[in-house]
A = this chain, B = another copy of it.
Amino acid sequence: MATTPEPRQGRAASLQDVATAAGVSLMTVSRAVNGRPWVNEATRAMVLAVAKELGYRPSRGARAMASGHVESVTVLTSNTTLYGHATTLQGIEEAARASGFSLGIAVLDSPEPAAVRRAVERIDAMTGVIVIAWDLASTRALAAMPVGLAVAAVTSPTRARKVTHPSVWLDDESAAATATRYLLDLGHPTVHYVPLPEARPMRPRELGWRRALQARGVAIPPPEAGGWDAHTGYNAGVILAKDRGVSAVLCGNDDIALGVLRAMHEAGRDVPSNVSIIGFDDAPHSAFLAPALTTVRLDFNSLGRECFRLLQEILVDGGLSPAVVISKPELVIRESTARYQRPRRHKAGTPASESDD
Contact = CB atoms under 8 A, between A and B. Distances in A.
Contact of A61 (B57, B60, B230, B287): B60
A61 B59 CA distance: 9
Please give the count of copies of this chain that the complex contains. Answer: 2
Given A284-B255, A288-B230, A61 B126 contact: yes
A89 B80 contact: yes
Nearest to A74: B102
Contacts of A221: none
B61 A124 contact: yes
Given A55-B147, A93-B107, A148-B12, A258 B81 contact: no
A123 B65 CA distance: 17
Interface string A92-136: 010001000011111101000000000001111110000000000
B104 A104 contact: yes
Interface string A123-164: 111100000000000000000001111000000000000000
B230 A284 contact: yes
Given A59-B125, A123-B57, A261 B290 contact: yes
Interface string A218-235: 000000000001100110
17 contacts: A10-B318, A12-B125, A12-B149, A13-B148, A55-B147, A57-B149, A58-B124, A60-B61, A80-B93, A81-B90, A103-B105, A230-B285, A255-B284, A261-B288, A261-B290, A262-B290, A262-B292
